Amino acid sequence: MINPATMMKLMAAKNTFTANHPKFTPFLKAVFMRGEDSVPAGTVIEITVTKPGQAPIATNLKITESDLELMNTLKELAGQGQ
């Protein structure tokens, strides 16, 4: 069980993040929350990080069945906190 004070800190940090990046949460919902098979195994996620004054660095990962199991467990945990 998560300590209530820790949960409140996490919620405050989430709210700050959402306020700073208002388009990110809707983007994640559009990708991950549409239907049961919204991100099936074999989906490729690409990430690029561009630091000020530096060249971009990119990578990608292919979603596996075990990744999907982890995502489902995290969704279940998030649902328990509501």
Q: Which residue has the higher pLDDT, 2 or 57?
A: 57
Instruction: Give the start-to-end residue ranges of the domains of the chain.
Output: 1-35, 39-82
Q: Give residue-wise pLDDT tens across range 44-74.
A: 999 999 999 999 999 999 999 999 899 888 8
Evaluate if residue 80 carries a pLDDT over 70: no
Whether 1 has a pLDDT exceeding 80, the answer reads no
DSSP-H helix ranges across 21-64: 24-32
pTM score, whole prediction = 0.63
CA 4 vs. chain centroid, Å, equals: 22
Q: pLDDT confidence of 36, banded at 50, 70, 90? A: low
